[in-house]
Structure 1
């Protein structure tokens, strides 16, 4: 296996997205209640806000790609739900959310040590369906290439996004290794495109999907040894 470049998924691979997302929504919910005192606002939960956002994302799928815009629209829907429609307040809530979403993000402890080693041997990149640009999450200057679905308007597991990634890495797909936590989006998508795959299984989950990665690891610190550069 000849590898020239490694692409990393972002959410749940380099950082705990669900933790920082819920943390940010808690701050936003507190701000919402400062402005809105309806019973529905008082009863609103973070899980309600997540559900509203996910329904909205499905409604605009393929039409609106920018995730910050989707989040803003979701806050508009949330305010409608609590009986207080206000587009200006939705924009304000979006700013509060995004401030915490990016300023409070925490990298997994194995990220920087692994990147420090691998960057000496391979081109390193970020390939994400999310919207965490490297400079927003403490990884400025760490990547040779960055591909975000909202920018190229195609998302994992579509093989086209892996083709774009290989082009930006200036290597053939057969020399690209993709690392991610999702069997469906990361492993199956990269494999279908012709890239090599690593499933990052931090939680020790059982794989009963039939999708098989070339390698399975529980920590990014295992990756250099697999590639013979430890």
Structure 2
């Protein structure tokens, strides 16, 4: 543990999910491959199109509608709609295919369980103080086995811009009903999580589950209050 800034008393915790509580990259790679196989099988007119076709559609959508950056679910839905339309699907078939493919991907994207050691830690922390989740993604907390530890979960959407925007942090603080300076946010992204939390008046802890942690190698020049070597070190912080 490295402490960069003095810590105030902590009476609540907020957590990022992807790449903080688990390595999300391999999960997304697997889900993307499963979706592509599903599309090729269920909608044969897509069979000649590989992953680059879908990535190009995503890039074009984001160029046309930058606001879709704030809602991964809506971006995925629009990507599927545009791609299936390009492959010749129309009318009710297009609408149904878009929804079916979206539901399949969402199920695949949440088809894993958070490690038992992390669940055990969340359980211990939740017995001491309230926990909330603040995520730019759209993972299903029930399916991955951690919904019961959080009193609320905030997903980025068209109405709630993604971190580092302070919107979700503000909503979480209002839900908790305690001063922002008493909330510690834990996340892997120095820009999205740490800078976002600091701008919202939170304290911030940096922890990444998906990569070696070297703060000098990170893209944002901001310091958290504390850098964790292990998530379990949170127990020391809330016990002080």
TM range (shorter): 0.7 to 0.9
Task: Mark the CA change 1:152 to 1:72 in structure 2 (over 3 Å): closer, same or farther.
Answer: closer
Which ranges of structure 1 fall in alignment gaps of 5 or more residues?
none
- For residue 141 of structure 1, the aligned residue among 148, 164, 167 is 148
Aligned to 1:172: 179
Q: 1:212 aligns with which of 205, 215, 223?
A: 223
Larger RCO: 1 or 2 (CA < 8 Å, sep 6+): 2
2:81 partner SS = helix
1:59-74 alignment runs, 5 A limit: 59-62=64-67, 66-74=71-79
Aligned to 2:97: 89
Which contiguous aligned blocks of 4+ residues in structure 1 show a shift greater than 6 angstroms? none
Which 5+ residue runs of structure 2 have no aligned equivalent?
A: 1-7
Q: 2:50 aligns with which of 41, 44, 66?
A: 44
Task: Answer yes or no: is 1:185 the counterpart of 2:196.
Answer: no
The answer on 1:114 being equivalent to 2:125 is no
Q: Residue 225 of structure 1: SS of its match in structure 2?
A: helix
Point out the more displaced range, 190-199 or 10-19.
10-19
Shift of 1:197: 0.3
Aligned length: 225
Q: TM-score, normalised by structure 1?
A: 0.84
Root mean square deviation, CA, Å: 2.6
Query: For 1:50 and 1:105, how far apart are their aligned partners in 2?
Result: 24
- SS of corresponding position for 1:227: helix
Secondary structure of the equivalent of 2:99? helix
Q: TM-score w.r.t. structure 2 length? A: 0.81
Classify 1:30/1:63 alpha carbon distance in 2 versus 1 (closer, same or farther; 3 Å): closer
Kindly tell me: are residues 65 and 141 of structure 1, through their superposed partners in 2, closer, same or farther at Cα, counting changes over 3 Å? same
